[in-house]
Structure 1
Amino acid sequence: MPVRTGAQYVENLQKHPREVWLRGKRVEDVTTHPALRRPIEQIAGLYDLQHDPELAPVLTGEGPDGSRVGRAFLPCRTPADLRARREAFRAWAEPTLGLMGRSPDFLNTTLMAFAESPGVFAELGPRFADNIRRYHEHVRDHDLFLTHALITPQVDRSKGSSEQQEQFLHMGVVSTSEEGLVVRGARMLATLAPMADELLVYSLPGLRPGDEKHAACFAVPIDAPGLRLISRTPFDDGTRHPFDHPLSSHFEEADCLVVFDDVLVPWDRVFLHGDVGLANALYSATNLRQHTAHQTGVRGLVKLQFITGLAMKLSQSVKIDGFLHVQQKLGECIAAVEQAHALIVASEAEYETTDAGTVRPRFDALQTLRVLLATQYPKLVEVLQTLGAGGLLMMPSVEDFTSPVADDIARYYRGADLSAVDRIRLYKLAWDLCGDAFGQRAAQYERYYAGDPVRLLATNYLSYDKSECFRLVDRALALAGDPDTPAP
């Protein structure tokens, strides 16, 4: 089957009703629900890009049978493949301005990384390695959209999964049979889950001895019996005018709590279970962290470029960009963009070769970028808030343009060289990104994308190859000589 179109993606959602709860009501059809319809249209647009004559060669590559498949599904065999993948990531990040953090290419890349490391899953038996290969082929050949749920509910973080108030408060395996695993409990944070085709489940490192029932890696269709999605309150319920809220009216990601009410996972969809050590090692033992960090880094770069461009345009609109302190802040934004770009390029140029003979980006460069995104993006949000100042708080609504005060709007809201309409449009875009709940979610998303920023920095230290740094220190220490050596 060739890559899907947007219409085929939407049709598949309609053919597979899923249990989604939003504002206390069950959603009958996600493709027509006011809070979900427009984001689904955005994702459908991404699938359509795969058929655009100019972008199809960027977004797709040749699959094993000669048909075109999404480039994120394909392993990289040369450094040129890494650069081509970067361009594909960018081509899908730009239409959503880097604001959809879980576009389909992210988990397509994850699945490719798993399939590229079958030996890891084979530690539990050859069928698990076969399962991950076949599932990768299934998702690739049907061009499916996956979401995932990695985090346990935030009930009592001082205790492990097996120590919670209820045995299966955190998702775990209740029983096994000839058919497969039966799974009960909950996971979060399933971004875009109402709009996805399948759910991929694995664990973040941190499971403890005794958590064996909670150590599992598997996939199920999003409409699997017993699978329930509870969405957070949407930022846009379908009533927001795009002029007033240009971002939240299009890019709502509908983060969900996933409830497993004794969901049956067939054995051919099980990739790991019951092994705490192996579940904790998936990030480091497979190629997962390198390839997902590559997609994340490219998307993050687009997001940084977007907010930097917005800060510069906002400053020019009222001509504050001539002031030195404003130029300093804009210069900091540009520095963040260039750091991100340099780290991505460095990760590709200093690529690593895998045991399978494929190549992957260098992890340390991408890990550093992830650390920077967690701190730099919220900082750029603050820069935009500072530069917008009180102007961000006093923009009129779209209805004012056709009201008796329309002349006042045209006179007093204009910019130095902009009409009132253009300046208001610019400031509303800025407010949606830096002040509205949607924008704050986008900042919080980057801040905690890879977990606790403190733990992220600690991991950076613990996993870093210190040999080169220590070699230089040892050279310097040798200059001192021994204390009993006479001074020259």
Structure 2
Amino acid sequence: MPAITGNDYIGRIDQLQTNVWIDGNLVTGNISEHPAFKGVMKSQAALYDLQHDALVKDSVTYQSPSTGDPVGMSYLQPTTKDDLAQRRAMVQQWAKSNNGMMGRSPDYMNTVLMALASSVGLMKGKENCFPENILAFYEYARENDLSMTHTFIDPQVNRAQFYFEDSDEPIAAKVMERNEEGIIIKGARLLATQGGITDEIMVIAAGGVDEKEHGFAFSIPSNSQGLKFVCRESFVGGDSTFNYPLSSRYEEMDTIVVFDNVLVPWQRVFYYDNIEVANSFVASSSFLPFTLHQVVSRQIVKTEFVLGIVQSIIETINIGEYQHVQEKASEIIVALETMKALVMKSEIEAEIDEWGFMQPNRTTLQIAINIFPRTYPKFTEIIQLLGASGLMSIPTENAFQSSIRKDLDQYLQAKSKNAEDRVKIFRLAWDLTMSSFGTRETLYERFFFGDPIKLSSQLYRSYDKEPYVKRVKDILG
């Protein structure tokens, strides 16, 4: 099946009947109709429908090298700088559909898989590694337009620098058995965003592996026997797009993934029982530059949306003449243009890697991913400072349909908006910055690509500082 439609996506996920638990209850029936999932699944379906929209389909799909059918552009392995630009355009086309709110839209994991498939040369000839399985799964996912979630990290039991699990029953997922059919996994992993509403889950050891039983990578269907997704509380405030303009549409569930003796067939195993590969493959592959290119492209769209909200507040209550307001809005403008410049710089400085693929500049994108986790929380603070009491004066949709409306129309009007339109803007700002959905968004962006301190350390260690030290030495003689 080539590029799918939204109905294809929803029908496929409903048919899986994946083992999803929320609030102590097993989800039964069509998951696309469940209050916690129906909004985001509808938004995700709209992304797939863009692949068949006559106005944009040529910019979000490309011709499959295997079949000639149209397939998702996020699977494209770039070999030129134009390919990178096409990938960016596709990511941003999709992101504009949800204002950058869906950090785990399918193009993210498609990019991850594409990056791993572009680096399989690193695994060739290594013990218990199956690069051919990655390539086969990449082609299968591309040709069937699969949606995927992923989990990279172990449960947060003990974050000491040195911790060895001594529980009789495994906590962190590990290989319990190897047999003719595959490997048996038992334990848990964190934190699968969109867990339960995708075709597949990819599981990868992303470093810090001390025991071979924890050194594995694979992908399996979300409805695999023994696989469970345990959801946090839903942050969907309700169905009303007036009351909850963001959470009703874009709430991406986060899940704990439980493996209860799950069989991973050999053809789906990428590697296992290999500490060296488990600790090095993701870092040394093209995972970082390709994935960051997708991430930063989406974050640009989200920043544009934040700026739009800020300016809407400014115009609504007529505070644009104040310099401190201009300063706050300018902080967002500076961040936006900096991110745009960095992603463009990464493409301009892109180079062909040893496998023939065009990699965007890694260091430039590392800088971008160090900026956003620090600036996004500042964005939410700016909205709170500018919105102030307006973020509390937000009656619901029902209030405007009641006999109290006359009072609301009189006392909640604004310089440039009637009361209802004013409240819509402030409810949007509230949902982004103060609701449970909004505060989750802030935490999510703060830790999107890992601990910001570790990201800084990685940048410091990898950045070539020696030329600048040499200039100091030269002037000192």
Fold shared per TM-score above 0.5? yes
Contact 1:79 1:351 in 2 (8 A): yes
Partner secondary structure for residue 62 of structure 2: strand
- Alpha-carbon offset, residue 479 of structure 1: 3.0
CA RMSD of aligned residues (A): 1.4
CA distances 1:339-393 after superposition (whole Å, capped 9, x unpaired): 1100000000000211111201101111111111110011111000100011101
Describe how 1:417-456 pairs up with structure 2 within 5 A. 417-456=416-455
Distance 2:255 2:122 in 1: 30
Partner of 1:485: none
- Alpha-carbon offset, residue 261 of structure 1: 0.2
Partner of 2:72: 70
Distance 1:164 1:377 in 2: 39
Contact 1:152 1:171 in 2 (8 A): yes
Contact 2:128 2:274 in 1 (8 A): no
User: CA 1:124/1:167 → structure 2, altered by over 3 Å: closer, same or farther?
Assistant: farther
User: CA 1:130/1:234 → structure 2, altered by over 3 Å: closer, same or farther?
Assistant: same
Partner of 1:54: 55
Partner of 1:324: 323
CA distances 1:309-330 after superposition (whole Å, capped 9, x unpaired): 1011101111111101100111
Distance 1:194 1:126 in 2: 29
- Alpha-carbon offset, residue 73 of structure 1: 0.9
**Identical counterparts, % of pairs:** 37
Partner of 1:297: 296
Q: How many residues align?
A: 475
Distance 1:415 1:229 in 2: 46
Contact 1:89 1:299 in 2 (8 A): yes
Describe how 1:149-188 pairs up with structure 2 within 5 A. 149-158=151-160, 162-166=164-168, 168-188=170-190
Distance 2:166 2:464 in 1: 37
Contact 1:124 1:272 in 2 (8 A): no
Partner secondary structure for residue 143 of structure 2: helix
Partner secondary structure for residue 31 of structure 1: helix
CA distances 1:205-245 after superposition (whole Å, capped 9, x unpaired): 2223xx210111001100000000001000116x3421011
Contact 1:161 1:207 in 2 (8 A): no
Partner secondary structure for residue 163 of structure 1: coil
2:199 to 197, 200, 203: 197
Distance 2:59 2:128 in 1: 35
Distance 1:104 1:69 in 2: 13
Partner of 1:310: 309
- Alpha-carbon offset, residue 125 of structure 1: 5.2
1:142 to 144, 165, 170: 144
CA distances 1:280-328 after superposition (whole Å, capped 9, x unpaired): 1122221111111011001111111111110111011111111011001
TM-score by length of 2: 0.97
CA distances 1:249-283 after superposition (whole Å, capped 9, x unpaired): 11111100000000000000000111112111122
Partner of 1:11: 11
Which structure's CA Rg is the greater one?
Answer: 1
Partner of 2:37: 36
- Alpha-carbon offset, residue 417 of structure 1: 1.3
Distance 2:259 2:163 in 1: 15
What amino acid is aligned across from residue 221 of structure 2 in structure 1? Answer: P
Distance 2:464 2:278 in 1: 24
What amino acid is aligned across from residue 153 of structure 2 in structure 1? Answer: I
Describe how 1:462-477 pairs up with structure 2 within 5 A. 462-466=461-465, 470-477=466-473
Contact 1:160 1:207 in 2 (8 A): no
Contact 1:234 1:254 in 2 (8 A): yes
Partner secondary structure for residue 187 of structure 1: strand
Distance 1:203 1:52 in 2: 38
Distance 2:268 2:459 in 1: 33
Distance 1:352 1:448 in 2: 28
What amino acid is aligned across from residue 32 of structure 1 in structure 2? Answer: E
What amino acid is aligned across from residue 43 of structure 1 in structure 2? Answer: Q
What amino acid is aligned across from residue 477 of structure 1 in structure 2? Answer: K
Partner of 1:115: 117
Partner of 2:388: 389
Contact 2:127 2:274 in 1 (8 A): no
Contact 1:180 1:264 in 2 (8 A): yes
CA distances 1:420-464 after superposition (whole Å, capped 9, x unpaired): 111100000000001111011111001011211111111110121
What amino acid is aligned across from residue 247 of structure 2 in structure 1? Answer: S
Partner of 1:258: 257
- Alpha-carbon offset, residue 160 of structure 1: 5.7
